[in-house]
Structure 1
Amino acid sequence: MSEQAVRMSEVGGVEVMTLNSISLEAPGAGQVRVRQHACGLNYIDIYHRSGLYPLPLPSGLGLEAAGVVETVGEGVTHLKVGDRVAYVSAATGAYATARVLAARELVRLPDALSFEQGAAMMLKGLTVQYLLRRTQPQGGLQAGDAVLFHAAAGGVGLMACQWAKAMGLRLIGTASTEAKCALALEHGASEMILYSQQDFAQRVRELTDGRGVKVVYDSVGASTWEGSLRSLAPLGLLVSFGNASGPVPPVALGQLAAAGSVYLTRPTLFTHLNQAGAAAAMAEDLFSMVLSGSVRIPMGQRYALADVQQAHRDMEARATTGSGVLLV
């Protein structure tokens, strides 16, 4: 059966993405075929398209989607035809009308969650889960602890604001406009810093009576690196998990000593998901937070699959808020 999928044969601008007809084979052992209803949009898709994160070419794009199991391969016992599912996969190719995937990558999507929510929440929501639950400083995080979260009005950031509030954390966020600061505050941030007009590291010190924060969660990269170090309390943890402004320059270990014997990590979601049993447990935690109302999915822009180029233009221009999706 002929399907449609976004493909690229070279890296570059949005023009390298084209909507192509493809043929899918029947699922093999341990695989399922999913009829997709919505595909998640994430900044990492731009890294893949531009070549910052190199892919073998030609390649598909997109890491997450939600839909319905259409065909089940041999040996698959935990899923059946008709199941509503969502996934995030290390293999690109989610921008498509249908897909064949390893069954272990899929989790059942609760009936109370829409396909759009499912597609928009897996990568960002599981990222927040591993950051706040699994990537913690010495002694862990307790209610009242202060953390700094950059890009707090983005898809990951808005979920993090809510999740941190549910944990009792004092989340100090940064954003580029007053409107984005207001949005993050509405979603649970304790304080916001307009980094385009303020020295965020200095402001963090003011807000914490000079102590600094226990953790900085930094997805911005090059432009925030120095300030993030200056925002940490002694023995704090800098979590660098993205490069929206470009990659972090090479690190001199002496910088960590000078910042107060701080810790530095560069984690990835898929390192966590590849641990035995982690995907199901992490998804259960995420779904529980959403279904309880502690975290709501901040749905943003919706685009047709054929409008993928415009979707990427908007993301690169920082003209989006919340979690965007491609509708199939």
Structure 2
Amino acid sequence: MRAVVVPAYGGSSVLEYTERPDPEPGPGEVLVDVAAAGVNFTDVYHREGRYPLPLPLVPGSEGAGTVTAVGDGVTDIVPGDRVGWAQVVGSYADKAVIPADKAVLLPEGLAPDLAAAVLLQGLTAHYLTHSTYPVRQGDDVLVHAAAGGMGLLLTQIVKLRGGRVIGTVSTPEKEKLARQAGADEVIGYEDVPEAVRRITGAGVHVVYDGVGAATFEGSLASLRPRGLLALYGAASGPVPPFDLQRLNPAGSLFVTRPSLGHYVATREELLSRADDVLGWVASGALKVHVSQRYPLAEAARAHDDLEARRTTGKLLLIP
């Protein structure tokens, strides 16, 4: 098979497109012909060694395709089934072995590239809006990077739950995308707390922040008393340590650093969230914006574009 390999940690130039032996499924696993693999900042962190994994590494934590073989003990998935997955490393390849308990059957009629484009970020947006801070009718919500893949999904799901979205963007083109997704107000990254309080009066109930170091202080200052900051990523770098006592005079604020694995800890929870997300996509209630499809051999270019924020929506690699 052909695959993208990380032989040593570093920049995008370390990514090698190469031939590797065809994998075989072991007990409890399925072998999939990959139709598309999602490109995420997690893949960059794996490549850099920020989230270290044993090397050499085939990156890619999200994908979809058709099952071609199953290992011993797999009874609920058969060859020919179309499946998607998230948080399974090894997706930057034309074949991948996936634990059967991480594979999600795709709804009839849902294209596999859309599943590959939505699962990881869609599951993340689901747990953030349904569990980390369950958005209620009328809540004010600040969504950073509202025109990115995560931001577009978060905006739509917050609106499905009845919240009001204030989205941050960096360009007029991105403002247009955020508004098309349902953002009620769109602001730049300058003076975010002032803009938020001008719009809301008291501040927002929750901030969904995947940017990290560059936005953290503004996110805290945008919260109303007893508001919650959900820091789910660090695209601009990790947040420096800070004194928890600061949360008290600011209004008894809450800060959490959640991650998807803890919110799909059981297969039942994974399937429940995936059924919602994929069902919304299949019905048209949730729109997936795929901004760029790259040949698998051009994974380095996809990483460069993602890190330079030259894109909107979701990036896919196509074997």
- TM-score band w.r.t. shorter chain: over 0.9
Q: Is 1:242 aligned with 2:233?
A: yes
Aligned partner letter, 2:100: A
Q: Is 1:161 aligned with 2:152?
A: no
Q: TM-score normalized by structure 2?
A: 0.97
The equivalent of 1:35 in structure 2 is 33
Aligned partner letter, 1:162: Q
1:1-328 aligned at under 5 Å gives the runs: 3-89=1-87, 91-136=88-133, 140-195=134-189, 198-209=190-201, 211-328=202-319
Q: Is the 8 A contact 1:163 1:294 kept in 2?
A: no
Query: Partners of 1:51 and 1:28 in 2: how far apart?
Result: 28
Query: Partners of 1:35 and 1:128 in 2: how far apart?
Result: 27
Q: TM-score normalized by structure 1?
A: 0.95
Shift of 1:325: 0.4
Query: Partners of 1:28 and 1:293 in 2: how far apart?
Result: 36
Q: Secondary structure at the match of 1:258?
A: coil
Identity of aligned residues (%): 46
Shift of 1:276: 4.7
Q: Is the 8 A contact 1:299 1:323 kept in 2?
A: yes
Q: Is the 8 A contact 2:138 2:164 kept in 1?
A: yes
When the two structures are aligned, how many residues end up with a matched partner? 319
Query: Partners of 1:122 and 1:182 in 2: how far apart?
Result: 24
Q: Is the 8 A contact 1:24 1:100 kept in 2?
A: no
Which range is displaced more, 91-100 or 230-239? Answer: 91-100
Aligned partner letter, 1:135: T
Measured on the aligned residues, the alpha-carbon RMSD in Å equals 1.1
Q: Secondary structure at the match of 1:220?
A: coil
Please list every run of at least 4 consecutive aligned residues from structure 1 whose deviation after the TM superposition is greater than 4 angstroms. Answer: none
**Residue ranges of structure 2 left out of the alignment (5+ in a row):** none
Shift of 1:26: 2.4
